[in-house]
């Protein structure tokens, strides 16, 4: 795997009320009660986006406002909106516009800016007073910063904090404890145990002192801590549980990256294949840039709970995947190119494998999303054989292509391929050198589904994903066991083979026979395409009535469907483990139930 530095603070709003330090050379004026809070709303490594919110907490109207703060050397504002922002050295000043300076009691206004560097603001002042609304008393200095907290007694839900005392000319009264910049407690001593936390979650704590006049001093340094428990990285040698996420699913299917988290699936999977990039003129290219990089998500739609802004450098699925990986660090994401529709470009790519590989690396490692992807997957359907179009690039083309990818991407990236599961004699597995190519790949996604379907409109009805052969199977070699056996006979290690599961069914209508092998009149009606339907629909609309060759089938009315259920997936996972396979993969997330029923079945079955 390739491990990259990830800016941990960038994907959720980090609210930081900052204490004001007021110059006492001249008497400070009495400021109207107000607060200014700071939130880092985006962080993309080389820069960040932030927002200040000014709120009138007093009883009289504010006619204008000025927020001042210090940035450490190397951190600066590069552009701003809804305020006039200037600087003098490392000191920054933001003044209200003519149209947003007036604040009635209880109202607030925000302004924002983009910045560079990694520092946080300090020494905040709002209209000459403290940014947290505390008083400023002439002749009474604010307290110093306490020591950076230390953490101990960390559990799934709590952590103990300890810090060295602050100093003050008139005495320290108490301390505010801030979690992620938000005050969670005020204590008189120099320890505090914070409770009610979430297992396996990162937290950041700071502390600030209050003196006898209730003036606050600057915050301490930050202490980072991760609670125990929660999601952990899979142990070395654990089985792969990989799912395809479709780029176009965000439209009609209304399926988004956040669904992986809300369904519980993100905690169960190990890898995601993002499908699909296109292959044009012998090169890898982005397909739908709007869905991938530009579609804006509201706070309630996004993984992090933070809304996209119009000017952030990256939005869309890629940014959501970035947020998902921040929340579930064990997940690795691969960019998948090709698929049924876009495989026609691979023939030209095979004429210059090195140039193709270089173009793919440029897309996968584009600086705007280089931290999102951990590798590349090639879905060539099919080398030296026919899919949507026919390819005649020769039996060595596939091996040459993936060898060039490995050379270009190196050993720190995953390089994988989805391949045919045609185990018939002289079939698609025999058309390319899958055995020789395996040396360049981490694994194969063997597409052990879509063996049979209503493209044969009159039948015979048959399970589209049979694990084994059975009496009456329409085509010899069209089953998972024979496909896996053939690949192993060609020298592919079992550990580099993943068993494929379809999260959908294929079906016919006009069927009178319940058992497989019946005749039909046409493809059954499907939500998006005739002859195909999601599992989440079929489990209720046409429940399974039998099992054949390790796959469920259902006869309801005149319709006949075949699909996998949690029970048949359990059988298949047991078989995969007994064969020593590297794990399983599935097409694709949106076919599952809202609680991730099938993903959970794969996860449990691979344990």
Q: Is 474 exposed, middle or buried (0-12, 13-18, 19+ CB in 10 A)?
A: middle
- Does the pLDDT at position 324 exceed 60? yes
The residue with greater pLDDT, 22 or 270, is: 270
Q: Coil, strand, or helix at residue 352?
A: coil
Output the pLDDT for position 340: 96
Question: In what helix (H) or strand (E) does residue 261 lie, and over which residues does it extend?
Answer: helix 257-262
Q: Is the pLDDT of residue 231 over 70?
A: no
Taking alpha carbons only, the member of 172, 151, 183 closest to residue 217 is 172
User: pLDDT by residue (tens digit) across 481-501?
Assistant: 999 999 999 999 999 999 999
- Which tokens in the block code for residue 437? 């190519």
Confidence of residue 94 (pLDDT cuts 50, 70, 90): very high
Q: List Cβ neighbours of 601 (8 Å cut-off, separation of 6 or more).
A: 566, 569, 570, 573
Which of the residues are catalytic? 381
Q: How far apart are CA 451 and CA 466, in angstroms?
A: 8
Domains of the chain in sequence order:
1-139 (2.60.40.290), 141-230 (2.60.40.10), 240-502+564-606 (3.20.20.80)
pLDDT at residue 16 above 90? Answer: no
Q: What is the pLDDT of residue 279?
A: 97
* Residue 22 confidence (pLDDT): 30
Report which of 346, 485, 328, 321 is spatially closest to residue 418, judged by C-alpha positions: 346
The first and second tokens of residue 371, run together, are 């931290």
pLDDT of residue 120: 80
Contact 285, 279 (CB under 8 A): yes
Strand runs (DSSP E) across 127-231, as ranges? 129-130, 150-152, 159-162, 172-179, 182-187, 191-194, 202-211, 223-226
Encode pLDDT of 144-163 as tens digits: 999 999 988 888 889 999 99
pLDDT for 229 equals 66
Averaged over 394-423, what is the pLDDT?
96
Neighbours of 230 (CB within 10 A): 13
Question: Model confidence at 105, in pLDDT bands (50, 70, 90)?
Answer: confident
CB 392 within 8 A of CB 447: no
Exposure string (b/e) for 246-263, b if CB count within 10 Å is 16 or more? bbebbeebebbbbbbbeb
Mean pLDDT of 372-393: 96
Q: Is the pLDDT of residue 14 over 90?
A: no
pLDDT at 603: 95
pLDDT digits (tens, 9 = 90+) for 563-597: 999 999 999 999 999 999 999 999 999 999 999 99
3-state secondary structure of 571: helix
| Residue 13: per-residue pLDDT | 35
As a whole number of angstroms, the distance between CA 132 and CA 31 comes to: 12
The yes-or-no verdict on residue 31 having pLDDT over 60 is: no
Percent of the chain surpassing pLDDT 70: 92
pLDDT > 80? residue 203: yes
Average pLDDT on 502-524 reads 98
Beta pairing partners, 278? 285
Least confident window among 82-96, 199-213, 256-270: 199-213
Question: Which of 8-17, 80-89, 367-376 has the lowest average pLDDT?
Answer: 8-17
As a whole number, the mean pLDDT across the chain is: 89
């Amino acid at each position: 795997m390739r491990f990259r530095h990830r800016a941990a603070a960038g994907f959720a709003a980090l609210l930081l009320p900052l204490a004001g330090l007021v110059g006492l050379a001249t008497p400070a004026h009495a400021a109207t009660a107000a607060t200014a809070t700071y939130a880092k709303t985006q962080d993309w490594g080389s820069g960040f986006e932030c927002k200040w919110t000014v709120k009138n907490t007093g009883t009289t109207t504010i006619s204008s406002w000025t927020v001042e703060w210090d940035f450490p050397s190397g951190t600066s504002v590069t552009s701003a909106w809804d305020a006039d922002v200037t600087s003098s050295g490392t000191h920054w000043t933001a003044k209200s516009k003519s149209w947003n300076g007036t604040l009635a009691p209880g109202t607030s206004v925000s302004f924002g800016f983009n910045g560079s560097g990694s520092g946080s603001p300090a020494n905040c002042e709002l209209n000459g007073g403290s940014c947290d609304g505390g008083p400023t008393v002439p002749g009474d200095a604010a307290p110093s910063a306490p020591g950076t907290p230390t953490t101990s007694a960390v559990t799934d839900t709590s952590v103990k904090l300890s810090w060295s005392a602050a100093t003050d000319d008139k005495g320290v009264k108490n301390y505010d404890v801030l979690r992620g910049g938000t005050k969670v407690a005020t204590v008189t001593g120099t320890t505090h145990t914070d409770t009610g936390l979430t297992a396996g979650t990162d937290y950041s704590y700071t502390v600030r002192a209050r003196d006898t006049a209730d003036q606050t001093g600057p915050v301490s340094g930050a202490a980072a801590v991760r609670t125990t428990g929660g999601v952990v990285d899979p142990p070395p040698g654990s089985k792969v549980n990989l799912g395809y996420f479709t780029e176009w699913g965000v439209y009609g299917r209304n399926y988004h990256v956040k669904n992986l988290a809300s369904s519980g699936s993100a905690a169960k999977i190990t890898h995601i294949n993002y499908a699909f990039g296109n292959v044009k003129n012998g090169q890898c290219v982005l397909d739908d840039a709007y869905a991938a990089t530009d579609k804006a998500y509201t706070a309630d739609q996004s993984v992090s709970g933070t809304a996209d802004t119009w000017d952030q450098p990256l939005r869309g699925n890629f940014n959501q995947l970035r947020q998902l990986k921040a929340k579930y660090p064990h997940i690795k994401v691969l960019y998948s190119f090709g698929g049924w529709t876009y495989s026609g470009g691979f023939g030209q790519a095979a004429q210059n494998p090195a140039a193709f590989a270089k173009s793919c690396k440029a897309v996968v490692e584009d600086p705007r999303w280089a931290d999102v992807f951990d590798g590349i997957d090639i879905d060539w359907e099919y080398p030296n054989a026919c899919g949507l179009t026919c390819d005649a690039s020769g039996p060595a083309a596939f091996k040459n292509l993936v060898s060039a990818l490995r050379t270009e991407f190196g050993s720190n990236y995953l390089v994988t391929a989805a391949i045919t599961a045609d185990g018939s004699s002289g079939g698609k597995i025999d058309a390319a050198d899958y055995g020789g190519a395996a040396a360049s790949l981490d694994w194969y996604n063997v597409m052990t589904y879509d063996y049979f379907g209503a493209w044969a409109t009159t039948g015979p009805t048959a399970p589209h994903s049979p694990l084994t052969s059975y009496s009456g199977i329409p085509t010899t070699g069209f089953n998972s066991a024979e496909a896996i056996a053939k690949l192993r006979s060609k020298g592919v290690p079992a550990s580099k083979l993943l068993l494929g599961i379809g999260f959908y069914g294929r079906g016919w209508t006009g069927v009178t026979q319940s058992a497989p092998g019946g005749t039909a009149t046409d493809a059954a009606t499907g939500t998006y395409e005739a002859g195909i339907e999601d599992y989440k629909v079929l489990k209720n609309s046409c429940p399974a009535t039998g099992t054949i060759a390790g796959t469920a089938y259902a006869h309801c009315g005149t319709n006949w469907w075949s699909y996998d259920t949690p029970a048949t997936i359990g059988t298949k996972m047991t078989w995969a483990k007994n064969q020593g396979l590297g794990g399983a993969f599935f097409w694709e997330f949106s076919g599952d139930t809202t609680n991730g029923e099938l993903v959970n079945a794969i996860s449990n079955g691979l344990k």
